[in-house]
Structure 1
Amino acid sequence: MNKIYIVICFLLISFSVSAQQFSQYNTGTTYESFENTSVRSFIPDSSREYSFNFLIPNFNANAYITGDIQGSLKNRLFAKSPSYQSDALKTGFNKLNHLNANVNTYLLMLKAFTSLNGDVEMGLSYQIRGESRGLVTDETLLLFDGNAPKNFPNGAYDNIFNNSFQMQLYNQIGFSYRERINKQFAIGFKLSALLGIKYSKFNIDESHIAFDNVNDEATLAMRGKYYSSYVPGHFTSHDYLPTFRNPGASINLGTSYLTNDKITLQANIKDLGFIHWSSRSLVGNFDGVATIKDISGTHREDSIYNSAIQVFRSGGGAPRSFTTKTNARAELSASKTYWLDYDNDIKYIPTLIGSKEIWYTGFTAGLVNHIQYKNYTGTVTFTYDDLKLFNAGLQFMYKTPNIEFFMGTDRLINTGRLAFAALGNQTQIDHVGTYTGMDLYMGFSLKFGGPVEHPMNASFIPMGEKGFFGRLWNRLFKTDK
């Protein structure tokens, strides 16, 4: 079996979202302004009035694996002599491994500064996102190892393949609005139309396998439920293009407040939304049996995969629509700026962040440390989550009022280890730590157009009045003079 199918079988079958990109907090980049909607990306008297990424993707991608299957999967994918190296895996204990991943790619980011008095910014964005989650047992990898007499000595087992899976991929077209109400308070939102690309989900509630070592085969039975979105024909690159077949919507809300002690507090609700999948999608129960042939042969991976698909499709399924949630999160942060020299060339900005998934149990806490020297910023990030995973990351950023470029990782050590493993370093292939994973992100944008200037500095008539929220605030709290 080609390695790409191994990745599909084991990674895509059990991914979960871990989407935080904490390093961008309080950077003022165009990317951050679309994610943390109350944050400004323009600097009056310095910036030009339009910001654009010129269709250069700004992306964030991450993945990780916990549990006993780390070394086994890396040996199969990256070793010079691929094998599953199954000694660390255990049979009969139903040990679950978490496999997590996320992708968020902005293909278009366009923002404009529209009102000087109200400090108003408006923007359009187009992005592709992927969300998924699940679990996989040790025994699933042992089945692919091909040594049934050793790995499954009892001959028959119940409920050792009770895996789960959920994956959602969609296009997102957004309109954002940000306004500073007064010198202390700002508010922002992003309204998005979601256009679903693909959705898959299954839960295996019961499973049974019986081995026939004499005939080199096994009988596999599974019972559960599955969901599958409609994709005409075979899934191709054209299916990534936006269509109205699976519509949805989401909202991001953000506020920021500057206290008298110069502490900036932020609150964000991110990606709160839904997708309604086409009535030609399939929803069904499966309760079937398949025989896996040649279970120790060279083609066993194909045989096992095809037998599992045969069982999933045994229930047929009924065409009907269904609605799914997007993976919404609530985040709170607090930050403060410290100047480290008399000339105000070096500043330090620490930020404390807490992020909670709204529909699931995931929680992550982070500490982001920006150290800026003139136009250069280095960032050290530490995070800790509910799976007891500790991460350290680095970011490099070059940012002027009109040019910004950044790249980094929020999982530095593990990304490095996985890179060396992918290059064939056997030490890193065999290494089993708390988790195996990677995290990479990069972004770029430029500002152009006329300068954003205050009246005293203006070379032309300045723009606009207070925005909608500012006028509403003045009327509610009678702040107009």
Structure 2
Amino acid sequence: MKRILLVFSLILFTIHCFGQQYSQYNTGTLYDSFENPSRASFTPDSSRKYAFNFFLPNFSVNSFLTGNSQVPLKSRAFLGYYTMDNLKFGENKFNRVNFNANYYAIMFKIFSNLDGNTEMGISAQVKTELRGLFSDESIALFNGPTAFENDHYQNIFNNSAIYQAYHQVSFTYREKINRQLAVGFKLSALMGIRYQKIDIATSALDIDRLNDQAFLTMTGRYKMNYIPGSFTTHDYLPTFRNPGAAIGLGVSFKTRDAFNLQFNLKDLGFIHWSNRSYNYNFASMDTIPQFSTGRRENNIYDAAKNVAKTNETRGGFITPTNSRFEASANKTFWLDYGNQFRYSPTLVLSKEVFFDGFTAALVNPITKGNYTLSLTTAYNNYKLLSVGGQFMIKTPNAEFFVGSERIIPTTRLAMASLRNQSQINKNPSYTSADLFLGVAFKFGPLIEHPLNASYVPTEQKRGFISRIWRRIFGRDEDY
């Protein structure tokens, strides 16, 4: 990261990688089947045997920024200067940034067994996870001494942030046990790209206006993974320097009254960062020269870096991935007598395993033929309400979808990026950049039931999970 404090506050606008969303639940897309491994992505007698994204990116982002810093950061990002009107000094006001990102470069699946209704697949993706808290005064610092009336401030930069990015290469398996029950799992190898964590326990700022300088003092802890030399684009390539593993489990169950229930433990994993990684227990002071000039942002970065990178020790450490446990319930209704319009709402409850995040979402898709329009509402434990939408075209052998889980704040941010002054000056409950998009195709021979097939198999095969199930519980009843 180029500027420690600045990047923690501007991360919403500077990361170009994309996270998790809910509109894909129960859509049967290839993306849905990799995120929720018990979900089927093939339709027998309609789909072809292989599904692939042909290296076309499938991605999503889920991010938000709350607090008084929204207007100053938007004005700095899009107009080139900070607007200080919204910031509060001495009131212990903090801003929250949260970012989860997911980018699939490769998704490939094969329908391997008709009788067991089994699917197997491989995928390669990149994930980014970030969360942080920073004070109003941390933003004001980058505007120079004019934002500060006094010459001494104590504990106004006691911020915290954690950032993690990694590659994930996965194998998925899905099997339908009977007409009611399907199970799936996702086994992943992880390769860490970047990790940084900072916790500032105490801080102070002393301003020397006569000499146009300031003195920044901080104590706390700072961790970062080992990078040979300066971090470059080459370091985004997969390596085994920071290995890890993850597992995902999914169960789908259809009740007698046609409710579809899903339970997913998503990507529960850990990464071991290199034993050459850096650990700093810093307690130091550094000077910010030319505090009122155009060089101040670089000088603040240099001072913060010099303070944070003191009292160095080396050693590896283990960090968890942002795993989630999700439960959902879905049922389909026909809205007209001619069965042209289908309504299939899904209620999703999502809880982060290692953090405090909790979200409840309601997905409302209406389908006519191959076209689907969805309205999604969600509410999380940070008391943020979001409304999103999705447009999808889906046939048995092709699919395309695009949408946003937070369509109104995302539109506002897009308008602000066009230097719309009224949107830049708005300070809503949160600012968000939220977008998802995907495409995939199926090819190969058609999946056919024996009564419809031009080729009739001579023996019945079942998936290995079904065989274990039958040995434990006896012959299953397909009702």
Q: Assess same fold via TM > 0.5.
A: yes
Matched with 2:10 is 11
Tell me by how many angstroms 1:14 deviates.
12
Structure 2 CA distance, aligned partners of 1:389 and 1:18?
20
Give 1:204's match in structure 2, choosing from 200, 204, 213: 200
User: Separation in 1 of the partners of 2:62 and 2:177?
Assistant: 36
Distance in 1 (CA, whole Å) between partners of 2:197 and 2:456 is: 57
Which residue in 2 is equivalent to 1:228? 224
Tell whether the 8 Å contact from 2:345 to 2:362 is kept in structure 1 after alignment: yes
Equivalent residues of 2:37, 2:172 under 8 A apart: yes
Match of 2:173 in 1: 177
Distance 2:235 2:141 in 1: 33
Preserved contact between residue 172 and residue 193 of structure 1 (Cα < 8 Å): yes
Note the C-alpha offset of 1:19.
Answer: 4.4
The partner residue of 1:428 within 412, 423, 446 is 423
Question: CA–CA distance in 1 between the matches of 2:443 and 2:6?
Answer: 42
Does structure 1 conserve the Cα–Cα contact (< 8 Å) formed by 2:159 and 2:199?
A: yes
Tell me the CA shift for residue 457 of structure 1.
Answer: 0.3
1:87-102 equivalent positions in 2, closer than 5 A:
87-102=85-100
Q: Distance in 2 between matches of 1:69 and 1:290?
A: 25
Q: Secondary structure at the match of 1:11?
A: helix
Structure 1 pair 33–13 and aligned structure 2 pair: CA distance change class (3 A): closer
Shift in alpha-carbon separation, 1:83–1:6, aligned structure 2, 3 A: farther
| C-alpha deviation, 1:76, in angstroms | 0.8
Q: Give the one of 330, 333, 342 matched to 1:335.
A: 330
Counterpart of 1:136 in structure 2 is 134
Q: CA RMSD in A?
A: 2.0
Shift of 1:18: 11
The C-alpha deviation readout for 1:390-410, integer Å capped at 9, x for no partner, is 110010000000000101000
**3-state SS in 1 of match to 2:91:** coil
1:115–1:464: 8 Å Cα contact kept in structure 2?
A: no
Q: Is structure 2 residue 416 aligned with structure 1 residue 418?
A: no
- The corresponding residue for 2:447 is 452
Q: Which residue pairs with 1:193 in the alignment?
A: 189
Helix, strand or coil at the partner of 2:34 = helix
Q: CA deviation at 1:61?
A: 1.7
Are 2:324 and 1:322 equivalent residues in the alignment?
no
Change (3 A) 1:306 1:464: farther
Q: Which position in structure 1 is the counterpart of 2:379? A: 384
- State how far apart, in whole Å, the 2-side matches of 1:75 and 1:241 are: 34
1:132-281 to structure 2, matched below 5 A, reads: 132-148=130-146, 151-281=147-277
Pairwise CA distance, 1:168: 0.7
Alignment of 1:102-113 (within 5 A): 102-113=100-111
What TM-score results when the alignment is normalised by the length of structure 2? 0.96
User: What is the distance in 2 between the residues matched to 1:368 and 1:438?
Assistant: 20
Does the residue aligned with 1:438 lie in a helix, a strand or coil?
A: coil
d(CA) in 2 for partners of 1:6, 1:211: 18
Number of aligned residue pairs: give it.
Answer: 474
Identity percentage of aligned residues: 51
Structure 1 counterpart of 2:390: 395
What is aligned with 1:47? 47
- Report the alpha carbon displacement of residue 342 of structure 1 after superposing the two structures with TM: 2.8
Partner residue, 2:78: 78
* Aligned AA (2:40): R
- Distance in 2 (CA, whole Å) between partners of 1:398 and 1:14 is 30
Q: Which amino acid aligns with 2:398?
A: I
Contact 1:290 1:311 in 2 (8 A): yes
Task: Name 1:355's counterpart in structure 2.
Answer: 350
1:100 Cα deviation after fit: 1.5
SS of the equivalent of 1:125 reads strand
Alpha-carbon displacement from aligned partner over 1:109-140 (angstroms, at most 9, x marks no partner): 00000010110000000001111211110001
Q: Do 1:116 and 1:464's aligned partners in 2 also have CA atoms closer than 8 Å?
A: no
Tell me by how many angstroms 1:102 deviates.
Answer: 2.1
3-state DSSP of counterpart to 1:25: coil
Specify whether residues 385 and 461 from structure 1 end up closer, same or farther in structure 2 by C-alpha distance, changes over 3 A only.
same
